[in-house]
Amino acid sequence: MANPKVAEALTMVQTSSMPAIAFESILFNIQTISSPQTALNDLKVIIEAICNNSHNNNTTTTPSSSDSQQQQKQLGVVAQRSLFNSFIAAARTFNDPDLWVAAANHALEILSAASGQASVSVSTAASATTSGTFADEVAALLRLAADGYEALEDNLAAARALSEIPLDSSQRRVSAEDRVRVWVRIVRNYLEVDDTAAAETYLNKLKNVIYQVADPALNLHFRLSQARIRDAKREFLPASQAYHDISLSPAPISDDERLHTLSMAVKCAVLAPAGPLRSRVLGRLFKDERSPNLPEFGMLEKMFFDRLLAADEVQKFAEGLAPHQLATTADGSTVLARAVVEHNLLGVSRLYSNIGFDALGELLGLGADRAEDTTAKMIEQGRLVGRIDQIERIIWFEHGEASGEKGSGRAEVTAGKEMRRWDTNVQSLAEEVENVTNALQREFPEFVAANLVV
């Protein structure tokens, strides 16, 4: 039920010669004549009076009479548009997200009913009125509802409300910047509920117009949305590079936000498939002078230097990951577990010339068969250089750098190769001994003459 002060003010509107000004006065003074408890009902009554519609389905009724209807019919379209904007401003003064949502939805239903449509939802109301004369007002009401949904953390409802804003209507002109502003909000809301497919749909729309927008903040949000979608799709290397570029952006970003974005870049780099491409990304992040300030720096350092990772280090790192970064892969392991296994395998290849299946499985925390499969996959994809002797159950590692090209990791068996390597090592050792002896003869000839046994 409406507040008595509001009901009295509406009664005075019925006798006013200038109802538009009277309605403006009510909305401007809504904080004075209404209360938080009755604010929603008061706003509903006011908007019904403005639209001159009784709405039999509504429990709240508008004071009406034949005289009041005649007075209210004097409101022209221009006046009604202005009053809708005042209504939205009045709703915002209460700083109540629930009220924003309810007031916006009710106003949309009123507009829909006024256009002769039976509306039961925000989307139906919006579609019923976008082709009419109140397209701008519908857009403003939908933004009000979206603000309320976002404040209530109902991101899916916020995205749906924003998607109903008329951006292609012939009744209103919408600049590229305004389109981008709405689409960016939709993308961010869908990402909050992990609906990557819907977010990518609107991101593709953004790609067609973002080049027309000079606003650095909108461009930054677009790039950040791109990075988040790549991250969600497990395209970790491109996501890491995008996050790192954003952390170095000249756009006005706080230091905390820059560090957070750099942290996301490190997490994505760690989760990326082990290989030369990831090594380059890790090197770029490791050389960033801000990286030592991150909790993930220890993990980054070990990965960059190809050191083996312990289980407790991995568990601590996992605590800071998002749910999609801990998702289970097709083989039953998590994204992080797979990344750690591949990294440790790369580290093993730096320590050993060859190793048996069983010993490798024990080092990696896998069975011998899975260790063999993982090694074969990395060699096939060009992320590791080596060969597998399935008869002897031994993996031979080549200490060269993999190229990352598919099929380039296979090492050919060369006859006598190990013997020639042994000969080379013996020759190198003998040369070093001779160099030391020559140095002693130059510096301490008497000592060498007395002690050197030929």
pLDDT tens digits, one per residue of 230-262: 998 889 999 999 999 999 888 778 888 899 999
Q: Give the number of domains in the chain.
A: 1
Calpha distance 179→215 (Å, rounded): 13
Lowest mean pLDDT among 84-93, 106-115, 121-130, 260-269: 121-130
Cα 29 to its chain centre, rounded Å, is 42
Q: At what angle do helices 236-247 and 255-271 cross, to 10 degrees?
A: 160
Establish if 407 belongs to a structural domain. no
What are the structure tokens assigned to 96, written together?
């109540």
Establish if 300 belongs to a structural domain. no
What are the structure tokens assigned to 225, written together?
């949305």
pTM over 0.75? The answer is: no
Q: Can you give the residue range of the structural domain that contains 429?
A: 419-454
> For residue 54, what pLDDT is reported?
37
φ/ψ of 42, rounded to 5, equals -60, -45
Q: Which long-range contacts (CB under 8 A, 24 or more apart) does 249-258 make?
A: 249/220, 249/223, 251/216, 251/217, 251/219, 251/220, 252/216, 252/217, 253/220, 258/290
Q: What is the average pLDDT across 162-191? A: 85
pLDDT, greater one: 260 or 403: 260
Angle at 93 between CA 92 and CA 94, to 5 degrees: 90
> For residue 128, what pLDDT is reported?
44
Establish if 149 belongs to a structural domain. no
- Contact, 30 vs 42, CB < 8 A? yes
pLDDT tens digits, one per residue of 195-209: 888 999 999 988 888
Q: What is the mean pLDDT of the chain?
A: 80
Establish if 89 belongs to a structural domain. no
Share of the chain above pLDDT 90, in %: 19
Q: What is the average pLDDT across 298-327? A: 85
> For residue 260, what pLDDT is reported?
92
> For residue 13, what pLDDT is reported?
74
Report how far apart, in Å, the C-alpha atoms of 218 and of each of 196, 203, 213, 347, 447 are. 20, 13, 8, 42, 77
Establish if 444 belongs to a structural domain. yes
> What is the torsion angle, in degrees rounded to the nearest 10, for the CA atoms of residue 167, residue 169, residue 173 and residue 175?
20
Calpha distance 131→111 (Å, rounded): 12
> For residue 114, what pLDDT is reported?
63
> For residue 130, what pLDDT is reported?
43
What are the structure tokens assigned to 229, written together?
């979608």
Share of the chain above pLDDT 70, in %: 84
Q: What is the average pLDDT across 127-149? A: 77
Establish if 446 belongs to a structural domain. yes
pLDDT tens digits, one per residue of 140-149: 999 999 999 9
Residue type, 140: A
- Contact, 43 vs 51, CB < 8 A? no
